[in-house]
Structure 1
Amino acid sequence: MTSTPSTSPWDVQRLPRADGSVFLVTGGNAGIGYFVAEQLSATGATVVLGSRNPTKAEAAMASIRARVPGARVRAVRLDLADLSSLATVAGALDVERLDAVVHNAGVALDDPPRRETADGHELMFGTNHLGHFALTRWLMPLLSAAPAARVVTMGSFAAKSERLDPDDLQSRKGYRPKRAYGRSKLAQMYFGVELDRRLRAADSTVASVVVHPGGALDALTPSRPPLPARTIGARLSTAPAALLLQGKDAGAWPAVRAVLDVDVRGGQLWGPRVFGLRGEPRREPMWNHLADASVAARLWEASCELTGLDPDVVPG
């Protein structure tokens, strides 16, 4: 990628070239992560799918190669719910530098009971937030080796109406799955914002950007064989929702722009243009609660304690 400021308007259908760059997309085998990987593959970059399921990763890579001739795509095993396994990911990438990581993978539970990771953390908080927090620690040397790397954190519109309870990050009191999910994504977004503060204080070349996909529905998403296809009935039943929502292919646009657009800066928030729910990506004003540096700092300290790790933002 070039660092020269862009003068052209952003076009989601005509992405800038990124030959020679290396991008890692966690959860790149399905959903929004798949479309982030597919779109980035069309730029000439090497795209690595982080996935805990090798079979699904193979299917995703086959789909990308079928749609993007000459795509440079491969996979690395990645299980964010197992913190001890993440220390080997950087070595498994087998690269000298990493130009961007998209923290996209996540777990969303719809029903009780409350579940935990192998490390004893609430499953959604442990996977969506703590897993990415720890992964950043291990990837930071590779990110710092790139000229201007980016950490792109995929939040959620569901986090806009949630608030963190610093005294109950593990959702032990009054567990409700939807609330726990929204809070886990909010924790991710706080991490992305706080990470950039620390990167700037360390005069790092790495930038951290927070994005969200708006309202992205499976039923509005184009099929990608051999990945699961959406039925005609499902598409018809959600047709009215297309007025306000979009498919996961469009939900990928803010993250793709945050990776590629030289005009995007660290510490920014990006989402869909129309009511934050659908449309082309645009910069949004930072949500008021996300701007609370004291909550972000408390979360960072708690995350260090819970993972036993502290992402080192100091270059070298």
Structure 2
Amino acid sequence: MQPTTPATDPWDVHRPPRADGRSVLVTGGNAGIGYFVAEQLASAGALVVLGSRDPAKAEAAAGSIRSRVPGARVSRIRLDLADLSSLRRSVQTLELDRLDAVVHNAGVALDDPPRRETADGHELMFATNHLGHLALTRWLLPLLSAAPAARIVTVGSFAAKSERLDPHDLQSRADYRPKRTYGRSKLAQMYTALELARRLGAVGSPMASVVAHPGGALDSLTPARPPLWSRTPGERLRGLPAGAVLQGKDAGAWPVVRAVLDPRVTSGELWGPRVFGLRGQPHREPVWSHLADPAVASQLWYASCELIGVDPEFHLLARRA
């Protein structure tokens, strides 16, 4: 079992290490956890690229970051993770010679039936949250490999902790329940991130694959960022009791930012909030027992690579020269 970080950990969430000269792509960086990850990384001096399906929303988020962070370097690309055929073209629009990190944050969470599929015939949440990010990793690998020690940070979810994958029904055709399907899509994403960490380690790559989760992050506890979103006084008051055990999305971004910037973070680790995994300072926690099963992760890896039509050995592109 991996030890947690000590209580005397000097990490300061309000003053992370400088990231000048580094470039980071944040998928879904126009809203929620992704927005605050982008804002905090920009505050540290990183060049942040917002990946979003909606250019107007991405530009509004970039404007918000620039208004709050003097000298912020923010750009955007159009990125639709549900459209697998578009991802290679999207990566080609990145005007970078290297990418120091990617944060796999974007996601879809449906509340109600019916089950929905993408144009490729994949269940929408599984496709967006898991398959799309795996395909994106494949196409980003040359840019990531050009960085000295790039990081691939996958944003998991506490919702995945109580779920288990059904290898015979990965896309919830036989058993579709929106909340369960969402949790399983995030679980698949986390499994794949840890499998990638094992594969990168096996070929001696300096690249790291890390999982971070935000704990319990609520809109009602999140500071306003007008014109993107705001809170009424009533919403703020109603959210106060939940603050004893949960937190806002600004704090939910802390484990992700630490996974990107802390030089002590290593491949294959899981980072989350310190207090019951739901709120508080970011710390390294033991990998959940069901996530530590390499056989399940390997089976999922091969099945997923087949679904997206990529070589399952694509990680070899990241091996040390």
Q: Normalised by the size of structure 2, how large is the TM-score?
A: 0.95
Quick one: distance in 2 between partners of 1:172 and 1:45?
A: 42
Residue 248 of structure 1 is matched in structure 2 by 249
Amino acid at match of 1:299: L
Amino acid at match of 1:74: S
CA RMSD of aligned residues (A): 1.1
Quick one: distance in 2 between partners of 1:236 and 1:125?
A: 35
Quick one: distance in 1 between partners of 2:227 and 2:60?
A: 6
Deviation sequence 1:96-148 (CA, Å, 0-9, x none): 11000000000000000000111110000000000000000000111111001
8 Å CA contact 1:204, 1:313 repeated in 2? no
Deviation sequence 1:183-235 (CA, Å, 0-9, x none): 00000100110000000011111100001000000110000011021222222
Residue 211 of structure 1 is matched in structure 2 by 212
Residue 72 of structure 1 is matched in structure 2 by 73
Residue 50 of structure 2 is matched in structure 1 by 49
The structural deviation recorded for 1:310 is 3.2
What is the 5 A alignment of 1:57-68? 57-68=58-69
Q: What is the percentage of aligned positions where both structures have the same residue?
A: 74
Quick one: distance in 2 between partners of 1:217 and 1:261?
A: 25
Residue 130 of structure 2 is matched in structure 1 by 129
Residue 4 of structure 1 is matched in structure 2 by none
Higher mean C-alpha deviation, range 39-48 or range 88-97: 88-97
The structural deviation recorded for 1:8 is 7.5
The structural deviation recorded for 1:273 is 0.5
Residue 117 of structure 1 is matched in structure 2 by 118
The structural deviation recorded for 1:161 is 0.3
Q: Normalised by the size of structure 1, how large is the TM-score?
A: 0.96
Quick one: distance in 2 between partners of 1:118 and 1:236?
A: 42
Quick one: distance in 2 between partners of 1:126 and 1:59?
A: 26
Equivalent position SS for 1:198: helix
User: Cα 1:8–1:280, aligned 2, differ >3 Å: closer, same or farther?
Assistant: closer
8 Å CA contact 1:153, 1:188 repeated in 2? yes
Number of residue equivalences? 310
Quick one: distance in 1 between partners of 2:162 and 2:80?
A: 28
Residue 3 of structure 1 is matched in structure 2 by none
Structure 1: 5+ residue stretches without partners: 1-6
What is the 5 A alignment of 1:274-293? 274-293=275-294
Quick one: distance in 2 between partners of 1:43 and 1:90?
A: 24
The structural deviation recorded for 1:89 is 2.4
8 Å CA contact 1:107, 1:124 repeated in 2? yes
Amino acid at match of 1:32: I
- Runs of 4+ displaced beyond 6 Å: none
Equivalent position SS for 1:24: strand
What is the 5 A alignment of 1:83-94? 83-94=84-95
Residue 4 of structure 2 is matched in structure 1 by none
What is the 5 A alignment of 1:2-81? 9-81=10-82
8 Å CA contact 1:137, 1:310 repeated in 2? no
